[in-house]
Amino acid sequence: MKTTCHCFQNIFVAPEMQYNPRNVGRQNRNFVDIRTAGGTEVTNDLYVRQRKYNVFWFEGKIARVDGVSVQACVARQYPLIAQHAANLRPLEMYPHHDQKFEFWAAPGDSEMEVAYNRPVLQMTKIVIDDDLAESCMEVRTLMIGFQGEMYEGGEEGFHTWRDEDGYAVKPEVKGPDTGEQEISDDLMKKMEGMDAQKLWEEQERRAGRSPTDD
C-alpha cells in the first residue's frame, strides 16, 4: 500500500513529525524526560524570527541527549516546530508558512537574560542545509524533545529585538539610577508576563526618558 506524502513548506514530513496531538505530546514528554536527566545544560530556548524584521518570538524549548547537536535537534523536529510557530503567531508567521522559518537558539532557561537585553547573551542561528536535513533523520525521536510555548488569557507573547549576530538591539535593562546590572524588586514584580519591549519602556519611564520604538 502506498503511503501518502505529507509535506510542509515543500519538505517531506516523516509521519513521526507530523503536527498532531500524538506527536506533539510525545516530543513534549521526551523534553521533560531529557531535561530531568540532563538538566538545563541539555536544553535551549527557541525563537523564531519574524520575516523582514528583527523581532524574535519565543516559541518554546528543545532538549537533546549527548551526541545530538542543537542544529540536528531542530532539523529533525523542524516540521513539527515550524507548524507550531505558524499556529502560535498566525499574524506574523502563518502568511509565510510556505517558506522556511528562521529559528534561533538561546541557552536554556535564559528568558530573564533575554528580557534584560544582556549584551553578553548571543543567540545562535539554526542553519539547516541539505546534508543536515538528511543526516538528522538518523536521530531517533526519543533522543530529542520539544516543548512548545502556549498562551493563556490573551497573552501578547514574549519577544525580543536582535541583530544579525543574535545580540540584543535594545539597551540593557538595569536598576534605576544605578550602574549595576540589576533590577529593582518593584520592577521585578511588574515584569511578570511583560515582554522585552515593555520591560525596556518601563525602565525608560523610570529613568525620566520617553521610550520610542526604533
- For 63-90, the pLDDT digits (tens) are 999 999 999 999 999 999 999 999 999 8
Question: What are the angstrom distances between the C-alpha of 1 and each of 4, 14, 189, 203?
Answer: 9, 17, 59, 62
Give me 119's grid cell.
549584551
pTM over 0.85: no
| CA pair distance 132, 191, nearest whole angstrom | 39
In this structure, of 55-59, 117-121, 143-147, 173-177, the range with the lowest mean pLDDT score is 173-177
- Interior/surface letters 54-80, b for 16+ CB within 10 angstroms, e for the rest: ebbbbbbbbbbbeebebbbbbbbbbbb
Integer Cα distance of 213 and 211 in angstroms: 7
Q: What percent of the chain has pLDDT over 70?
A: 74
- Take residue 11 and report the three cell numbers written for it: 519538505
214: pLDDT confidence band, cut at 50, 70 and 90? very low
